[in-house]
């Protein structure tokens, strides 16, 4: 069996502190390390298409859940899990690229909807299949059954940590 960096780290801890059960590190350490590796690869992928990863995330969120009406900045903020100042900055930057626009909310003058422009929608629609191909590549060492099992286990952990809603 091949060993990874987490195997080495847990072996060192077991040797140094045999009184401490470090087995949780085998899961948490791998999730943490894999998160960083995946994020680095996704950043490279989107940079190759002239975007930041977060830009695609905002555009994709609008595409999958905003419809023609769009999403309020608050709803977009909750979906992106960033501060309100950060989402305002992100919307400004995407608007400057003509990928999103702000539209007033008829029901509440204090609110605005963030909508994809035609250019923003076309970009998401173009990149989504390429992005999925890239994610397929990232997971290519796993069989379909492995992926299904991993997705089930990660969902169980996610629910156990109360990550059950985008709101």
- Where are any strands of DSSP class E within the chain? 71-72, 100-104, 112-116
> pTM for this structure?
0.86
Of 63, 46, 64, 62, the residue nearest 54 (C-alpha): 46
Predicted confidence (pLDDT) at residue 105 exceeds the cutoff of 60: yes
Nearest CA among 122, 121, 108 for reference residue 70: 121
Strands (E), 69-127: 71-72, 100-104, 112-116
| pLDDT tier at 165, thresholds 50, 70, 90 | low
Domains of the chain, residue spans: 1-48, 53-124
Confidence (pLDDT) at 108: 74
User: Domain 53-124 belongs to what topology?
Assistant: Arc Repressor Mutant, subunit A (1.10.10)
pLDDT digit string, tens, across residues 38-95: 999 999 999 999 999 999 999 999 999 867 889 888 888 877 666 667 888 899 999 9
Looking at every residue in the chain, the average pLDDT score rounds to 91
With 0-12 CB in 10 A as exposed, 13-18 as middle and 19+ as buried, what is 158? exposed
Percent of the chain with pLDDT over 70: 95
pLDDT in tens, 138-164: 999 999 999 999 999 999 999 999 887
User: In the sheet that 112-116 helps form, which strands lie side by side, from edge to edge?
Assistant: 71-72, 112-116, 100-104
- Percent of the chain having pLDDT more than 90? 74
């Amino acid at each position: 069996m091949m060993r990874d960096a987490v195997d080495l780290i847990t072996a060192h801890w077991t040797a140094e502190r045999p009184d401490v059960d470090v087995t949780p590190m085998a899961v948490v350490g791998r999730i943490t390390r894999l998160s960083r590796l995946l994020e680095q690869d996704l950043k490279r992928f989107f940079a190759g298409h002239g975007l930041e990863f977060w830009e695609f995330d905002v555009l994709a969120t609008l595409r999958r859940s905003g419809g023609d009406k769009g999403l309020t900045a608050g709803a977009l903020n909750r979906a992106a899990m960033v501060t309100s100042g950060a989402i305002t900055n992100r919307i400004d930057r995407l608007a400057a690229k003509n990928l999103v626009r702000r539209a007033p909310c008829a029901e509440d003058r204090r609110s605005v909807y963030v909508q994809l422009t035609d250019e923003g929608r076309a970009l998401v629609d173009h990149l989504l299949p390429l992005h999925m191909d890239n994610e397929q590549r990232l997971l290519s060492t796993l069989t379909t059954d492995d992926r299904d099992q991993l997705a089930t286990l990660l969902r169980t952990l996610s629910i156990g940590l109360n990550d059950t809603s985008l709101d």
